[in-house]
Amino acid sequence: MAELSTNVRYIKGIGETRAKALEKLGITTLRDLISYFPRTYEDRTLTRPIRDLTEGENVCVRAMIAADPTAHRIPGGRPIVRTRAVDETGTLDVVFFNQEYRKNSLHRGEIYIFYGKVEGQRRHQMVNPLLEPEGRQHLTGRIMPIYSLTAGISQLMLTQAVRQGLDACRELLPDVLPDEVRREHRLCYINYAYENVHFPDSPEALTQARRRLAFEELFLLTCGLRLLRSRREDVFGPVCRKVSMDLFYNALPFTLTDAQRRAVEDTIGDMTAGRPMNRLCQGDVGSGKTMVAAACIWFAAQSGWQSALMAPTEILARQHFETLSPLMARLGLTCALLTGSTRSKERRETLAGLAGGTIDLCIGTHALLTGDVQYGRLGLVVTDEQHRFGVNQRAALSQKAEAPHMLVLSATPIPRTLALVIYGDLDVSVIDQLPPGRQKVDTFALGESYRPRVNAFLRKQVQEGHQVFIVCPLVGDGDTLPDERKAVTAYAKKLQEETFPDLRVSVLHGKMKPKEKEKVMETFAAGESDILVSTTVVEVGVDVPNATCMVVENAERFGLSQLHQLRGRVGRGQAKSYCILLSEHPSEETRRRLKVMTRTNNGFEISQEDLHLRGPGDFFGQRQHGLPTLKIADLACDMQLLEEAQSAARALLCRDEDLSRPEHRPLLERVRELFHDTADSMN
């Protein structure tokens, strides 16, 4: 009998050739095969008499071949086979292209079930229908799975392979959900679930099957994350003594919001608890997450611990350095910057200071992960996440010390329930309040016809002493979009020469060298450039209070959360600010999406809408590396199921905190399989 880990080539009916084709879809084992779920379904249960057929509908017809098939070739050499089928109510013409064998395989007087799209209003026709002899139906008269395919694999081939896979493992599937959980949540058995998610007996059976498998997926994920957390709590973290925060608060030129103070209290509670902090601090653009990090850095230093702050881009790392360095100096702490472009001499001095413990805070990029960076007393690691670092990268930085405190900052606010899925084993603090004086940015979604008015508005903004961002989605002249201005370099040139010859236009994109980017940003921040044409490199970490207008070209190409991040680059000063979202030929869907941006400035609301509109595949395209991927659960639709699964997992782990009971052994083994990269942490 096959095991679930058996290579699919050994499954009866698949063999070496099909196995190689399946490998392109990531299917190598029997478990992979049965867990390759349909992307949609086709309901082939609807059967109509010929008289009642309606043009355009997909339907089954039971009919008899009434004429011997005829074959001929059409211009170009393609073979075409025609025949006629009848039932008690009428006649159906049946046409096959490129299927010459049908001439000899169909015989007058035989009854078939035809499935296809009806063409013609008076004289009905089906072109290239599926057909099966009556009484030997496998592909008609039922709900059929439709799978995502790749070259060399057809729907029929994959459907047959899944059927063979299910037949091979009928007795192998362990029901890892405890009986009490399955009963309490009214979930079907595992064999029934796999059978009916692929070959449903009815729409109701499909709903039950999908609910069971999605629940199990979310339940296993939650169990794994909570086991990781419980193991973390068994480790001793850097000991921080409780001290008053008054000295830190008094050094600030402003007062923290209540939400910021709550987040600071959360982190201090973690850092004085004797275990390593592992916390996500999430808040909207401009909510003040950096100051929460600064409070943690100062607090760690009071107990002699060093801190490292890792940013996703050099621009953001430098901005953090420019923001935090003066504050740390006022507080008596030393601060250093370490990036890929740090000069050799400066780098050697910084490395020596870190190893010797004379530098309290090091701010940098991925350069902080290199092997020669060693710390004397690293106690706190801060990562400015922006969905750009995964679990494994954070772990690489934390390995620079023994179980340091970890703080993750994110400006893509999402519901707390989802944060547990996206960010794994992190506790969550939410900054749901903006500092006083933060400007609301007026947002407009406009079509191409508004461009002259937009250009006039931009000129007026510059004449009033302000600056403008314009963001394009692509770089270079090899742009596949129809208009060259969508390429940032070509657009900037055209803008300078034709639209604003009297204004100063600069360009920023990700292919520039760090020093070039830095120079462009310094020039713009100093007011020596009026308009900055950029790619999304400005999404993160560009702070120019004098910039009052953000224009986004081809706004339909961006997710709502990304547009919200771009909008956050303006509204940082005292002047009224604007965001203009341009689309050439906006579809109804585009208009609906962009209307969300014009309606609200609330990042939490926008993220939730983004998740619903784009689906989890796009929204979590940069999901945390190191966590299992979701194969059937849909976070856009399964929020209630996620909450149920999380509640059930918490309740079970309260009764059996390490799943050590014999009846939970299959569950623990499955969790370890899913979390194979971090399974050692569960032992």
CATH of the domain at 391: 3.40.50.300
Least confident of 137-146, 213-222, 248-257, 389-398: 389-398
Question: Is 327 found in the same domain as 269?
Answer: yes
Residue 481 pLDDT: 41
Domain boundary among 551, 576, 600: 600
Residue 228 pLDDT: 78
Q: What is the pLDDT confidence band of residue 625, given thresholds at 50, 70 and 90?
A: very low
CATH code for the domain in which residue 110 is found: 2.40.50.140
Question: Is 476 found in the same domain as 386?
Answer: no
Domain boundary among 600, 628, 645: 600
Q: Give the domain extent around 122.
A: 46-141
Residue 353 pLDDT greater than 60, yes or no: yes
Which two three-digit tokens encode residue 289? 């997450």
Which two three-digit tokens encode residue 484? 């060259």
Residue 615 pLDDT: 54
Q: What is the pLDDT confidence band of residue 607, given thresholds at 50, 70 and 90?
A: confident
Q: How many CB atoms lie within 10 A of CB 675?
A: 23
The answer to whether the beta carbons of residues 278 and 426 sit under 8 Å apart is yes
Least confident of 111-115, 295-299, 614-618, 657-661: 614-618
d(CA 193, CA 213): 7
589 exposed, middle or buried (CB, 10 Å; 0-12, 13-18, 19+)?
A: exposed
Structure pTM? Answer: 0.68
d(CA 292, CA 390): 21
Residue 284 pLDDT: 82
Question: Is 194 found in the same domain as 64?
Answer: no
Which two three-digit tokens encode residue 169? 């493992």
Residue 261 pLDDT greater than 80, yes or no: yes
Give the pLDDT confidence of 16-36 residue by residue, as tens digits. Answer: 888 888 998 999 999 999 999
Residue 240 domain flag: no
Give the pLDDT confidence of 6-16 residue by residue, as tens digits. Answer: 899 988 888 88
Residue 430 domain flag: no
d(CA 564, CA 610): 10
The continuous run of DSSP H or E covering 379 comes out as strand 378-384
Residue 557 pLDDT: 86
Give the pLDDT confidence of 286-333 residue by residue, as tens digits. Answer: 788 999 999 999 999 999 999 999 988 888 888 899 999 999 999 999
Residue 485 pLDDT: 39
Question: Is 152 found in the same domain as 15?
Answer: yes
Residue 34 domain flag: yes
Residue 594 pLDDT: 92
Domain boundary among 390, 410, 430: 410
| 433-448 mean pLDDT | 86
Residue 615 domain flag: no
d(CA 467, CA 488): 18
Residues of the chain with pLDDT > 90: what percent? Answer: 50
Question: Is 54 found in the same domain as 23?
Answer: no
Question: Is 34 found in the same domain as 56?
Answer: no
Indicate the average pLDDT of the chain.
Answer: 86
Rg (CA), the chain: 31
Residue 421 pLDDT greater than 80, yes or no: no
Residue 339 domain flag: yes
Residue 541 pLDDT: 56
Question: Is 301 found in the same domain as 182?
Answer: no
Residue 602 pLDDT greater than 50, yes or no: yes
Q: What is the pLDDT confidence band of residue 682, given thresholds at 50, 70 and 90?
A: low
Residue 385 pLDDT greater than 60, yes or no: yes
Residues of the chain with pLDDT > 70: what percent? Answer: 89
d(CA 520, CA 508): 7
Residue 265 domain flag: yes
Which two three-digit tokens encode residue 363? 């701010």
Residue 649 pLDDT: 93
Q: What is the pLDDT confidence band of residue 109, given thresholds at 50, 70 and 90?
A: very high
Q: What is the pLDDT confidence band of residue 675, given thresholds at 50, 70 and 90?
A: confident
Question: Is 182 found in the same domain as 126?
Answer: no
Residue 432 domain flag: no
d(CA 149, CA 501): 51
The answer to whether the beta carbons of residues 387 and 540 sit under 8 Å apart is no
Question: Is 588 found in the same domain as 481?
Answer: yes
Which two three-digit tokens encode residue 462? 């510059």
Q: What is the pLDDT confidence band of residue 638, given thresholds at 50, 70 and 90?
A: confident
Name the maximum alpha-carbon separation found in the chain.
96
Residue 453 domain flag: yes
Instruction: Name the domain count of the chain.
Output: 4
Q: What is the pLDDT confidence band of residue 484, given thresholds at 50, 70 and 90?
A: very low
Question: Is 35 found in the same domain as 156?
Answer: yes
345 exposed, middle or buried (CB, 10 Å; 0-12, 13-18, 19+)?
A: exposed
| 494-516 mean pLDDT | 89
The three state secondary structure string of 574-615 is CCCEEEEEEECCCCHHHHHHHHHHHHCCCHHHHHHHHHHHHC
| 84-88 mean pLDDT | 95
Question: Is 389 found in the same domain as 346?
Answer: yes
Question: Is 84 found in the same domain as 34?
Answer: no
Residue 343 pLDDT: 87
Residue 564 pLDDT greater than 60, yes or no: yes
Q: What is the pLDDT confidence band of residue 394, given thresholds at 50, 70 and 90?
A: low
Which of 233-242, 377-386, 590-599, 626-635 is modeled with the greatest confidence?
590-599
